[in-house]
Amino acid sequence: MLKKTIMKKLLFIALVSLMTMSFLSIDNSKEIKEESIETVECKIRQCNATAKSTGKRCKHCVSKSEDKQCYQHKPKKNLMH
């Protein structure tokens, strides 16, 4: 009789623990998906640089089809030879 009550308590604790863990992982995956989907509609494409101030992807568009970065993040050309 004592073994049954101990087994029931252990089973109950294990079930509650597993249920709590499953809810936590679901919430974390929603946050990650929401953060990673942040795109802007551009004629050509969005800049692939990361903004220093926010740590997020730049929201500017590129001006030419061969460009990968916007005017702010494009590497400066050295005019002096």
Mean pLDDT of 8-18: 85
Residue 27 lies in a domain: no
Residue 12 lies in a domain: no
Say which DSSP state 51 is in. -
Which pLDDT score is estimated for 66? Answer: 92
Which pLDDT score is estimated for 78? Answer: 66
Residue 20 lies in a domain: no
17-64 pLDDT, tens digit each: 877 766 554 444 455 444 455 667 889 999 999 888 888 888 899 999
- In whole angstroms, give the CA distance from residue 49 to residue 40: 13
Nearest by Cα to 72 from 60, 64, 81, 80: 60
- In whole angstroms, give the CA distance from residue 8 to residue 47: 58
Token pair for 78: 């050295």
Residue 25 lies in a domain: no
Half-sphere exposure of 32 (CA within 13 A, CB side): 6
53-76 pLDDT, tens digit each: 888 888 899 999 999 999 988 887
Residue-number span of the structural domain to which 46 is assigned: 39-72
Nearest by Cα to 70 from 33, 53, 37, 45: 45
Q: Domain total for the chain?
A: 1
